[in-house]
């Protein structure tokens, strides 16, 4: 099966600030911008980079739980809210838990491949700071099989990945694993400090290693095998971009030098009613990532940078192993040795990832693609890394639920 029958490009990326604890302007006691603000801001930020919104053919919104966090459904109706020229055009919303943004990318990609659209406005959004964390955890539990909710931790998904971390500790050593998770956290904070839209941009801790060590594992107050520093943030935010054919780029006035090409992709689903086949492996990520690489016709050694779904630090470690950069059990050492840092063998999450940049769940997959677009086109500002011409590819891995819905994409700078 040939997945890409024609060239498809990404351009005109835009991120709002990832808003939540850590940002100086965030105050949980004061009224904050709502869903409409984030959709409009991200959408207009992208449309400002094209010649005319009338040349956009379709719209897609990725979102997880606006119907519960914001009591708002029917999100396609907000595409025309961005710009009146988008009214009367097709729009759709898609949901796959924290993988909703990735599904929005796949949906836009399929429209371009099917030639029902030359250009698609792809947007991801989530506004989650409308509830206390414990109540929000119950909403987020919908990313798993809710029938098992009563058997899970009060903080359901931290509990799920705490179980994975515990299995990894038992198999490979607790202190050893915690050193790798610590370095993952430090990398996330260092990278977030270079990106103005990141939730941890203003993190001023003088010694990030010491900060991590201050937080002790305590199952009585949180979960057994993770601290809050191992977890992604509760975030409000949106990201948007243009998905287009070569004809679409021309209609929008976008030069190819300002675009990246999708050269491989995969979307894989695991049965949500089953437990993960191996708690120390993210099996669905492994399958999706390797299918995407095969689709692109490249190996991991040709990747310049990766945006991976580190909803928890242990997910980052397991992702490194799933990709094949380290053997099972060796991922923690690979990270501890600095190989995933911005100056390492394979820079990962160069603007902080979910732990550093933030995790507005429905927007994350789109944010990851925007970050790769920025890096491969030299638009990442202070967060820019060097792209070796011998390793010109970037990759995104967006996961929904506990390794249930996974979307992986491979990109290169357009030629």
With respect to residue 344, please indicate whether it lies within any of the assigned structural domains.
no
Q: How confident is the model at residue 149 (pLDDT cuts 50, 70, 90)?
A: confident
With respect to residue 64, please indicate whether it lies within any of the assigned structural domains.
yes
With respect to residue 87, please indicate whether it lies within any of the assigned structural domains.
yes
pTM confidence score:
0.98
Residue span of the structural domain in which 101 resides: 8-132+234-257
Residue 150 predicted with pLDDT over 90: no
Query: Which pLDDT score is estimated for 134?
Result: 84
| The two three-digit tokens of residue 360, written as one number | 């507005």
Distance CA 327, CA 194 (A): 31
Strands 393-400 and 303-307: parallel
With respect to residue 22, please indicate whether it lies within any of the assigned structural domains.
yes
| The two three-digit tokens of residue 236, written as one number | 């409000």
- 24-61: per-residue pLDDT in tens? 999 998 999 999 999 999 999 999 999 999 999 999 99
CATH of the domain at 55: 3.40.47.10
- 235-261: per-residue pLDDT in tens? 999 999 999 999 999 999 999 999 999
Query: Which pLDDT score is estimated for 1?
Result: 59
With respect to residue 403, please indicate whether it lies within any of the assigned structural domains.
no
Query: How many residues are listed for the chain in this entry?
Result: 415
With respect to residue 88, please indicate whether it lies within any of the assigned structural domains.
yes
With respect to residue 53, please indicate whether it lies within any of the assigned structural domains.
yes
Listed range (62-76, 152-166, 334-348) with the worst mean pLDDT: 152-166
With respect to residue 349, please indicate whether it lies within any of the assigned structural domains.
no
Distance CA 257, CA 118 (A): 18
Query: Which pLDDT score is estimated for 254?
Result: 98
- 101-117: per-residue pLDDT in tens? 999 999 999 999 999 99
Tell me which residue of 305, 347, 322, 316 sits closest to 177, measured CA to CA: 316
Q: Sheet with 236-244: list strands edge to edge.
A: 91-94, 58-62, 119-127, 236-244, 8-15, 259-269, 405-413, 393-400, 303-307
Distance CA 62, CA 362 (A): 5
- 376-408: per-residue pLDDT in tens? 999 999 999 999 999 999 999 999 999 999 999
Overall number of domains in the chain: 1
């Amino acid at each position: 099966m040939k997945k890409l029958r024609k060239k498809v490009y990404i351009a005109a990326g835009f991120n709002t600030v990832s808003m939540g604890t850590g940002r100086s302007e965030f105050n949980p006691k004061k009224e904050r911008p709502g869903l409409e603000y984030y959709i409009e801001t991200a959408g207009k930020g992208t449309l400002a980079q094209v010649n005319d919104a009338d040349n956009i053919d379709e719209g897609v919104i990725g979102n997880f739980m606006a119907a519960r966090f914001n009591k708002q459904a029917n999100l396609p109706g907000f595409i025309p809210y961005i710009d009146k020229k988008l009214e009367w055009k097709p729009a759709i919303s898609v949901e796959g838990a924290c993988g909703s943004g990735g599904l929005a990318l796949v949906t836009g990609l399929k429209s371009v491949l099917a030639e029902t659209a030359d250009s698609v406005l792809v947007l991801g959004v989530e506004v989650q700071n409308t509830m206390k964390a414990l109540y929000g955890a119950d909403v987020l539990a919908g990313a798993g099989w809710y029938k098992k909710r009563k058997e899970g931790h009060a903080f359901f998904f931290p509990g799920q990945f705490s179980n994975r971390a515990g299995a990894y500790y038992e198999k490979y050593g607790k202190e050893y694993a915690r050193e790798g998770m610590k370095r993952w956290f430090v990398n996330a904070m260092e990278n977030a400090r270079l990106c103005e839209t990141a939730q941890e941009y203003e993190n001023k801790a003088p010694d990030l290693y010491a900060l991590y060590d201050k937080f002790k594992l305590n199952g009585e107050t949180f979960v057994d095998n993770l601290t809050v520093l191992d977890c992604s943030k509760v975030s409000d935010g949106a990201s948007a971009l243009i998905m287009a054919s070569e004809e679409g780029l021309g209609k929008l006035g976008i030069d190819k030098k300002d675009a990246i090409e999708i050269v491989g992709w995969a979307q894989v689903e695991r049965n949500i009613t089953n437990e993960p086949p191996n708690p120390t492996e993210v099996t669905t990520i492994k399958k999706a990532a390797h299918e995407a690489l095969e689709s692109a016709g490249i190996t991991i050694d040709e990747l310049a940078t990766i945006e991976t779904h580190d909803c928890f630090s242990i997910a980052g470690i397991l992702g490194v192993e799933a990709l094949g950069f380290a053997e099972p059990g060796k991922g923690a050492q690979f990270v501890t040795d600095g190989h995933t840092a911005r100056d390492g063998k394979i820079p990962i999450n160069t603007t902080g990832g979910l732990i550093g940049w933030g995790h507005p769940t429905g927007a994350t997959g789109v944010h990851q693609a925007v970050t790769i677009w920025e890096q491969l086109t030299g638009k990442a500002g202070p967060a820019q890394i060097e792209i070796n011409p011998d390793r010109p590819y970037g990759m995104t891995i967006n996961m929904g639920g506990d390794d249930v819905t996974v979307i992986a994409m491979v990109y290169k700078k357009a030629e």
